[in-house]
Copies of this chain bind each other. A is one copy, B any other.
Amino acid sequence: MIFAKVIGTIVSTQKDENLKGKKLLLCKEVTHDGKPLNTYHVAVDAVQAGEGNFVLLTYGSSSRMTEVTKDAPIDAVVSAIIDDVEIDGRYK
């Protein structure tokens, strides 16, 4: 899984049946200490994440392993909101 920050949402009316009712989030990849990288991903929200949240993205077939995303044509899911990253006993 990788780190990202939710920065927006995707608006789409003409989409596959299995994408309907799912929240599509625009996520900007970040480092483990929150520094922005220059890569963007669109991921389905499975944890009620919102703009500004520091989150975990799960990729590939594994992104379909949530109640929200099963059997849908999606390849990335926001699977967790991150509270802290602990390194050497300290919180970053």
**A interface residues with partner B (beta carbon < 8 Å):** 1-3, 7-19, 24, 26, 31-32, 40-43, 46-48, 51, 56, 58-67, 69, 71-77, 79-88, 91-92
CB <8 Å contact, A13 and B65: no
Known: A18-B65, A26-B87, A58-B74. 19 other contacts (CB 8 A): A1-B43, A9-B86, A11-B84, A12-B82, A13-B83, A14-B81, A15-B79, A16-B47, A16-B80, A19-B79, A19-B80, A42-B56, A46-B73, A51-B88, A61-B61, A62-B63, A66-B73, A69-B73, A74-B79
A73 and B65 in contact, given A47-B16, A56-B42 (Cβ under 8 angstroms): yes
